DNA sequence: AATGAATGAGAGTTCATTCAT
DNA sequence: AATGAATGAACTCTCATTCAT
């Protein structure tokens, strides 16, 4: 039951953060939405920031799991295609969570905190990707990987900003065709 | 001289916003950085929000001008290539301004205000673009335009996040090759 | 075993109060240090204030006992000397407890509560003392007693503030010489 | 006029602190008593602690001035008598201020802050005093000085606790007789 | 045009206390 | 006897905004 309360606080926080942005959200409004007293929230999380970090960490872990990313993986063409498809489809399932994530990327203070933690795991993933590009004969596989990531992020971003109208399938096919 | 004061306030606001994010910035610190009293700031702008909106509007106008975007333009392949190059190079010149812009995109409350104003002008540009894709024989030019925009935004985003290391030229060439 | 628990709570409270001061101490930290749940603490004491009062009452009783103070005692010169020595040596044995006591003297709200209770017992002691001064031929024995008490308190205070360096023996001898 | 406001805040703070003790006092109640908004108080002082420090610093300076204490002074018997009389009479004039001071001595956290600042100036005064005792032929002038200070503090303390009834004159004469 | 004193609402956070279990 | 989840009021402090000067 403790876990349940915790989850409901995180749910509430997510939706408030997503609606108003992290800095503009108040702990009061999170508590209210979670139907919990402000005091109790501090029983579960030691600060507003910790709520945010928890949220993002969870999301990141969840994404890693869904994408089935493991360290030092060798990426085949088949797998590469899968990564593209999942990367684009997953965020759309829960746009709220991912929008929050995106909104933090350009928030200097928070972004640094996050990157600190995620850098290592992201790093090995990046390496795997650039090895894929190397195996495909790219001259500068590192650069190719970065361009690819940027393009993928762009697609994700637009999917999140307008999940209903953005031509997701076409975008997917475009990416796949370009890089396989 | 009134214009000068105004400009210095906007400058100060930009750098404060960029450093701390809009919501975490205080009017006091903007005034201080602009070497102006808080009272005077309110003489020029009626609220903190208006300062932000002004900043973004100006940036938008400035971008439109640099990109030489005019209503109902017919885009040639040459011009298309130019648009790509400018779109990627311009933000890198003043990353601070553009980062602020990006940080707002996922801030529901502010984003809506902005879109309201910019939608019309953006609209005609989008139309021009999709006509370009139509002329190039794309089956669904509207979709192509959206995919293209997403990819371009992704590149811009990564350029802003890591202006020094991102392989800008490669990204540009990639985009150009794909769409011409 | 109930008594044991109670005692361990009082111990914990004493050390927390001594470290941080009464008002700055939290019930949580007392409970934690006593290795007891907050709820249980309230089973033994009905409020934080009661814990404090108990602590001070106990200390007072304990001091009275050590000083062997009984109502209507007739104080001889020998006994007077003993009182001085004990009064100065006792606090130094457990500076923590006595420092807490001292810290309350100038805390209006708490001090009143305490005095209320202790006044009667202190009264008879004061009377005994002033009778001693009367027997020694002091013109205004009441005044002499008060001056003496003040001087003694001064010594105690300094002993507690710097137990290691304060010249305790010299102070004792000084007092004894003055008043016998 | 700014100075006036500042003074009225300090006045209010003094009386609130004196009544309830530093930790038990709230900034709200200080502001209320000063007939000032909470916000304004923070315009004048950057924290509750700074209000306290200001108060104590001012008091200390004021006392030093009244006692006419100067570095490296050579204390004569006449001057020594004067110091005793002033030391006892001054606090009684404004018991509130001095009670606050006393209440802090046993407040670990604050006391340290204060001592840090005052130590140097107190030091030279202590030196002067111990030189006086040396000149009077005391075997251990340092110890004599400490005992003397303790006794004096005891008198001051009791004067403050019961200004009306404590036999101040007798105490003064007692001290003077002992040490001259 | 320009100041900065002043406000009041609200921010995040803590905590003594209660109560269902 | 014992827990710790839960509360709500109060805490210190911040800040956008106004206004007398």
Tokens of D163: 């200004």
pLDDT given at position B173: 96
Contact: D157, C157; criterion CB under 8 Å: yes
Nucleotide nearest to B48 (CA to C1'): F16
- CA atoms of C24 and C17, how far apart (whole Å): 8
Please check whether residue C119 touches D, CB under 8 A.
no
pLDDT range class, residue C59, cuts 50, 70, 90: very high
Contact: D167, C24; criterion CB under 8 Å: no
Indicate the angle between helix axes C48-66 and C2-20, nearest 10 degrees: 100
Model's pTM, two decimal places?
0.91
The three-point CA angle B123-B129-B130 to 5° equals: 90
pLDDT given at position D117: 85
- CA atoms of C128 and C124, how far apart (whole Å): 6
Please check whether residue B169 touches A, CB under 8 A.
no
Contact: D150, C149; criterion CB under 8 Å: no
Nearest to D51 by CA among D107, D7, D83: D7
Least confident of A13-17, B102-106, D49-53: B102-106
Contact: C166, D157; criterion CB under 8 Å: no
Q: Report whether B108 contacts A19 (CB < 8 A).
A: yes
Q: In this model, does residue D30 exceed pLDDT 90?
A: yes
Q: Report whether B35 contacts B7 (CB < 8 A).
A: no
Distance C45 CA to F2 C1' (A): 14
Q: Report whether C95 contacts C163 (CB < 8 A).
A: yes
Chains in contact with D via at least 3 Cβ–Cβ pairs below 8 Å: C
pLDDT given at position A113: 85
pLDDT given at position B52: 95
Please report, in angstroms and rounded to a whole number, the separation of the first and last CA atoms in chain B.
48
* Touch test A–D: 3 Cβ pairs or more under 8 Å: no
Contact: B170, A143; criterion CB under 8 Å: yes
Q: In this model, does residue C77 exceed pLDDT 90?
A: yes
Contact: C103, D107; criterion CB under 8 Å: yes
Nucleotide nearest to B40 (CA to C1'): E2
Q: In this model, does residue B140 exceed pLDDT 90?
A: yes
Q: Where do the domains of chain C lie?
A: 1-48, 67-179
The CA distances from residue D97 to A18, A40, C106, C172, D12, in Å, are 52, 41, 12, 31, 11
Tell me the chain A residues in contact with residue B102 when contact means C-beta distances shorter than 8 Å. Answer: 106
Q: What average pLDDT does this structure show over C33-58?
A: 96
Instruction: Assess whether C38 (CB) lies less than 7 A from strand E.
Output: yes
Please check whether residue D169 touches C, CB under 8 A.
no
Provide the greatest CA pair distance for chain A: 58
pLDDT range class, residue C45, cuts 50, 70, 90: very high
Tokens of B42: 């309110």
- CA atoms of C76 and C92, how far apart (whole Å): 25
Contact: C140, D103; criterion CB under 8 Å: no
Chain B's closest residue to A168, CA to CA, is B147
Instruction: Assess whether A20 (CB) lies less than 7 A from strand E.
Output: no
Q: How far B44 CA sits from the closest chain A CA (Å)?
A: 24
Whole-number mean pLDDT of chain D? Answer: 94
Please check whether residue A85 touches B, CB under 8 A.
no
The percent helix, strand, coil of chain C (3-state, each to 5) is 80, 0, 20
At D78-113, the pLDDT tens digits run 999 999 999 999 999 999 899 998 988 888 888 888
Nucleotide nearest to C42 (CA to C1'): E17
Please check whether residue C143 touches D, CB under 8 A.
yes
Instruction: Assess whether B4 (CB) lies less than 7 A from strand E.
Output: no
pLDDT given at position A114: 87
Q: Which CATH class is domain C1-48?
A: mainly alpha
Distance C39 CA to E19 C1' (A): 10
Q: How far B3 CA sits from the closest chain A CA (Å)?
A: 30
The three-point CA angle B115-B116-B118 to 5° equals: 60
C46 secondary structure, DSSP code: S
pLDDT range class, residue D7, cuts 50, 70, 90: very high
- Closest residue to C167, CB basis, from D24, D143, D157: D143
DSSP A122-165: HHHHHHHHHHHHHHTT-SSHHHHHHHHHHHHHHHHHHHHHSTTT
Contact: A107, B166; criterion CB under 8 Å: no
* Other C-beta atoms lying within 10 Å of the C-beta of residue C19: 16
At B9-41, the pLDDT tens digits run 999 999 999 989 999 999 999 999 999 999 999
- CA atoms of D102 and C111, how far apart (whole Å): 14
Nucleotide nearest to A41 (CA to C1'): F6
Q: How far A109 CA sits from the closest chain B CA (Å)?
A: 7
Q: In this model, does residue A40 exceed pLDDT 90?
A: yes
Q: In this model, does residue D49 exceed pLDDT 90?
A: yes
- CA atoms of A11 and B36, how far apart (whole Å): 43
Tell me the chain B residues in contact with residue A170 when contact means C-beta distances shorter than 8 Å. Answer: 140, 143-144, 147
At B48-96, the pLDDT tens digits run 999 999 999 999 999 999 999 998 899 999 999 999 999 999 999 999 8
- CA atoms of C27 and A147, how far apart (whole Å): 57
pLDDT given at position C62: 93
| DSSP-derived 3-state class of residue D19 | helix
pLDDT given at position A77: 94
Q: If you compute the radius of gyration of chain C from its CA atoms, what whole number of angstroms results?
A: 18
DSSP C94-150: SHHHHHHHHHHHT-HHHHHHHHHHHHHHHHHHHHHHHHHHHHTT-SSHHHHHHHHHH
Q: What average pLDDT does this structure show over D129-138?
A: 95
Whole-number mean pLDDT of chain A? Answer: 94
The CA distances from residue B112 to A154, B14, B59, in Å, are 20, 20, 17
Contact: B158, A166; criterion CB under 8 Å: no
Q: Which residue is nearest to nucleotide E6 (CA to C1')?
A: D40
DSSP-H helix ranges across D21-76? 27-33, 38-44, 48-66
pLDDT range class, residue D55, cuts 50, 70, 90: very high
Sole residue written with tokens 């001594």 = C18
At B147-168, the pLDDT tens digits run 999 999 999 999 999 999 999 9
Q: In this model, does residue D116 exceed pLDDT 90?
A: no
Q: In this model, does residue C10 exceed pLDDT 90?
A: yes
- Closest residue to B140, CB basis, from A23, A103, A170: A170
Q: In this model, does residue A117 exceed pLDDT 90?
A: no
Nearest to C80 by CA among C144, C18, C166: C144
Q: How far A162 CA sits from the closest chain B CA (Å)?
A: 11
The three-point CA angle C105-D61-D83 to 5° equals: 75
pLDDT given at position D6: 96
Please check whether residue C19 touches D, CB under 8 A.
yes
Chain B's closest residue to A167, CA to CA, is B143
At C151-160, the pLDDT tens digits run 999 999 999 9
Sole residue written with tokens 């992201």 = A122
Q: In this model, does residue C107 exceed pLDDT 90?
A: no
What is the percent of chain D where pLDDT is above 90? Answer: 82
Tell me the chain A residues in contact with residue B103 when contact means C-beta distances shorter than 8 Å. Answer: 103, 106-107
Please check whether residue A150 touches B, CB under 8 A.
yes
Please check whether residue D20 touches C, CB under 8 A.
yes
Distance A130 CA to E13 C1' (A): 46
pLDDT range class, residue B4, cuts 50, 70, 90: very high
Nucleotide nearest to D42 (CA to C1'): F13
pLDDT given at position D110: 85
Please check whether residue C144 touches D, CB under 8 A.
yes
Whole-number mean pLDDT of chain B? Answer: 94
Contact: B21, A18; criterion CB under 8 Å: no
């Amino acid at each position: 039951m403790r876990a349940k309360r915790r989850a409901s606080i995180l749910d509430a926080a997510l939706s408030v953060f997503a609606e108003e942005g992290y800095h503009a959200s108040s702990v009061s409004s999170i508590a209210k939405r979670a139907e919990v007293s402000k005091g109790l929230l501090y029983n579960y999380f030691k600060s507003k920031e910790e709520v945010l970090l928890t949220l993002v960490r969870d999301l990141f872990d969840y994404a890693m799991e869904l994408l089935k990313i493991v360290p030092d993986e060798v990426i085949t063409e088949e797998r590469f295609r899968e990564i593209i498809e999942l990367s684009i489809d997953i965020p759309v399932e829960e746009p709220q969570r991912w929008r929050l994530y995106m909104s933090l990327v350009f928030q200097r203070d928070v972004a640094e905190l996050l990157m600190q933690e995620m850098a290592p795991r992201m790093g090995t993933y990046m390496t795997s990707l650039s090895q894929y590009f190397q195996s495909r004969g790219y001259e500068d596989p590192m650069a190719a990987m970065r361009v690819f990531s940027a393009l993928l992020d762009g697609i994700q971003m637009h999917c999140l900003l307008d999940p209903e109208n953005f031509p997701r399938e076409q975008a997917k096919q475009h990416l796949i065709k370009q890089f396989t």
